[in-house]
Amino acid sequence: MGKVLRILLVIVLFIIFFEVGLFSSYTIVTAEVPDVRGLIDMQIEEISNIFSPQHVNDVLIKDPTNVNFSNKKDVALKMEEISNVDGVNVDSMNASTYEDTSNDKFNITIEALGYAEPNSTSGQIVISQKPSYKVIVSSVASYKNDELIVDTDQMKVDSVLKLF
């Protein structure tokens, strides 16, 4: 019981010493009387932010795993159809997942650059290599004959972002 009281006393003395140092350094730096309530509230807010659920989730959530799938052309055509863009660049496709890729089926997110229809000026068609959209879709992927195949029937659009 005596050791626990000593440890608690040391912790309390450390906190008091820290606070006194904070207030005195605030006075030296600003040449003003410290706002004790404001400084304590700021410290409590910062400590609360460190242990907030959002911050803890950011630490616990792992980075997505990049995956390669085989049916890119079919996926691009389906992306065009469901996102209402005029073309999808197959070379710009990036697929990733947060799930275990050793499972039979897992959710997958696919990003690709999309194109609007070509601009025409006075009867001439001008084809631009500049993409107009970023299309993000999600679907389910599974292995068939040792190849990863994206199920195009389960694809849904997450977002279509206009690029400027």
Of 83, 142, 141, the residue nearest 109 (C-alpha): 141
User: Bigger pLDDT: 55 or 9?
Assistant: 9
pLDDT of residue 163 exceeding 90: no
pLDDT of residue 100 exceeding 90: no
pLDDT band for position 59 (cuts 50, 70, 90): low
Q: Residue 5: its pLDDT value, please? A: 92
Please give the Cα distance from 64 to 41 (Å, whole number).
37
Once rounded to an integer, what is the mean pLDDT over residues 86-91?
A: 88
Once rounded to an integer, what is the mean pLDDT over residues 14-30?
A: 89
CA distances for 109 relative to 27, 116, 120, 125, 137, angstroms = 53, 22, 34, 34, 6
Any idea how long the chain is? 164
Are the C-beta atoms of 91 and 109 separated by less than 8 Å?
no
Please give the Cα distance from 138 to 155 (Å, whole number).
6
Min mean pLDDT across 51-55, 81-85, 120-124 is at 120-124
CA torsion sign for 121, 125, 131, 136 is positive
* High-pLDDT (> 90) share of the chain, %: 39
Once rounded to an integer, what is the mean pLDDT over residues 54-83?
A: 84
Q: Residue 51: its pLDDT value, please? A: 80
Q: Residue 12: its pLDDT value, please? A: 94
Per-domain residue ranges for the chain?
2-60, 65-162
Residues 6+ apart with CB under 8 A from 97: 64, 65, 67, 106, 107, 108, 109, 141
pLDDT of residue 28 exceeding 60: yes
Residue 65: CA count within 13 A, CB half-sphere: 12
114-151 exposure pattern, b = at least 16 Cβ within 10 A, e = fewer:
bbeeeeeeeeeeeeeeebbbbbbbebebebeeeebbbe
